[in-house]
Amino acid sequence: MQVTAVSARPRPKTGAGSKAPTLRHERSFAAVGYKVLAGCDEVGRGALAGPVSVGLVAVDLATVRSLKGVRDSKLLCQSDRETLAPQIKKWARGWGVGHASAAEIDLHGIMGALRLAGTRAWDRVCADLTPDVVLLDGNYNWLSPARQASLFDLPGNDDGGCQAPVHTKIKADMTCLSVAAASVLAKVERDTMMVDYAVTHPQYGWEVNKGYATASHRLAIDEFGPTPLHRMSWQLGTRPEADARDHESVVGG
């Protein structure tokens, strides 16, 4: 009997050796008249503690050039992200990072908190310039206000936040340079916050796990209880909680 060898599926490359995101998709928006595009991504969505954070990086579609070394933040080591962050800020026409706290996540739910953090990032970008369009990682537009402005609305009669058209793209953080850059800025700011929080809450290992649901983090919650920086609406420890609403897993930025 002839045996056919089956080759193992190659593992995806990560870090500096992975396929670099490009500006190809961003530039397609210039063909329909857009001039300034903002790439957008979030980090911290699946954590048990700390904020959810949203990055926005605006680029001029007529003049933007590639930026070497940028990848989705999850594919880069900490030192590479910290090296790239100031380069991204100089490269971009505008940038902003917004955060929504654990308490705000509990109050508004994860989608409402993402919109809140995204609005804060949007407002920071708009202090310098207003993007014509947004490219958002994923398949759901959580950035736009719950009610988009209408042509019949009176001036100022809107919910605030991003009023530009938002286009979603699955895995945009892997393929689109502006979105990957946004993920790096958001990741660096959020990680810095978690390291700072770890100084006053050393039991939970936040300087290492950054608030995500590692086994040691859950065990620490069992032993010491949650802090005000934990998301009380999540299932936090290892013991089941009857009223917990653990909407998100550890998978995320």
159 is in an annotated binding site: no
CA distance 33 to 53: 30
Cβ–Cβ < 8 Å for 90, 70: no
198: closest CA among 188, 209, 187? 209
H or E stretch including 117?
A: helix 102-126
**Cα 201 → chain centroid:** 24
**C-alpha–C-alpha distance, residues 48 and 146, integer Å:** 26
DSSP 62-114: TT----TT---GGGS-HHHHHHHHHHHHHHSSEEEEEEE-HHHHHHHHHHHHH
248 is in an annotated binding site: no
Q: Does 42 carry a binding-site annotation?
A: yes
CB environment 78-112: b (16+ within 10 A), e (fewer): eebbeebbeebeebbbbbbbbbbbbebbbeeebee
Q: Annotated binding site for a divalent metal cation, which residues?
A: 41-42, 137
Q: Annotated binding site, which residues?
A: 41-42, 137
